[in-house]
Structure 1
């Protein structure tokens, strides 16, 4: 099921909201993010308690390069009940990545770290955390995490042949033995 098809399907959602939210997601997916943003901002004003509306609004602001404007929408989406697990993961990743783009590296590390603690097997969250760690001036931790993600997720025969060594160096980059 696509994001547009999932949008608005939470139980108890007011009539018409599901259709309007789905339409906004389709507009963004169809390359019309400004129109999607206009609709989502209206929906957010009408339904400030709806976490999915807040998340889709944040995402659309990010698509438009309006990262600073996306932050309060991500924060609201994460604070409200009702996000699906997939959307919660996406909101944590989106907010953390947005903080990094805004040169707020410590907030990026905190947000993405929370995401990794909540969803420890999510390779995308761990990868974005590695980038945030690098931006926060912690390159050793960043590379250790990135190497672990590579070892955990790669099916490349060259990587899998050296998986044991990669994991060893991920634990101790300074060991040259």
Structure 2
């Protein structure tokens, strides 16, 4: 029953029927308060509906629980960190991204969203350096990889 309802709610969310998905997920979350996967999907649908503040406790519950796949755990870190940032809770956003990066140190998405939070924290130079590092490590850097990596650390250097 739980698996069928969860699959139905996820399919509804993916089909754009978010309000209906939310109703199913809220019921599941009430019946399965310790289920990390249900909490994650419930957080996600709240985010998709623009209900960021309501998503937070579900993300927190998802990350505190066990049983999420690595992909969903990464998604929960990204979702919670981004949601905190949107809500203006920048310190919590950075803490969440740092926790995520402790588990997924090479994830470009976490590093990019963390850079946005750094910018919101008034740490623009650090944010740009972090973004340059992500670019330098990507396939998009081309023949400029060394230069971009250098300036990620030496951004203020000019001739």
TM-score, reference length from structure 1: 0.88
Residue 162 of structure 1 deviates from its aligned partner by: 1.1
1:169 matched to which residue of 2?
Answer: 151
Structure 1: tracts of 5 or more residues without a match:
1-15
Please give the alpha-carbon distance, in whole angstroms, between the structure 2 residues aligned to 1:34 and 1:113. 32
Instruction: Work out the number of aligned pairs and report it.
Output: 159
**2:92 matches 1:110:** no
CA distance in 1, matches of 2:127, 2:102: 16
Residue from 120, 124, 148 that aligns with 1:139: 124
Please show how residues 91-102 of structure 1 align to structure 2 within 5 Å.
91-102=76-87
Pick the aligned partner of 2:43 from 46, 55, 58: 58
Q: Mapping of 1:32-51 within 5 angstroms?
A: 32-51=17-36
Q: Please list every run of 5 or more consecutive structure 2 residues that lacks an aligned counterpart in the other structure.
A: none
Counterpart for residue 10 of structure 1 = none
Note the C-alpha offset of 1:154. Answer: 3.1
Q: TM-score, normalised by structure 2?
A: 0.97
- Structure 1 moving runs of 4+ over 6 Å: none
Q: Residue 106 of structure 1: CA displacement? A: 1.0
The secondary structure found in structure 1 opposite 2:88 is coil
The 3-state SS of whatever aligns with 2:133 is helix
Which residue pairs with 1:69 in the alignment?
54
Matched residues in 2 for 1:117 and 1:129: separation? 13
The alpha carbon displacement at 1:49 in A equals 1.0
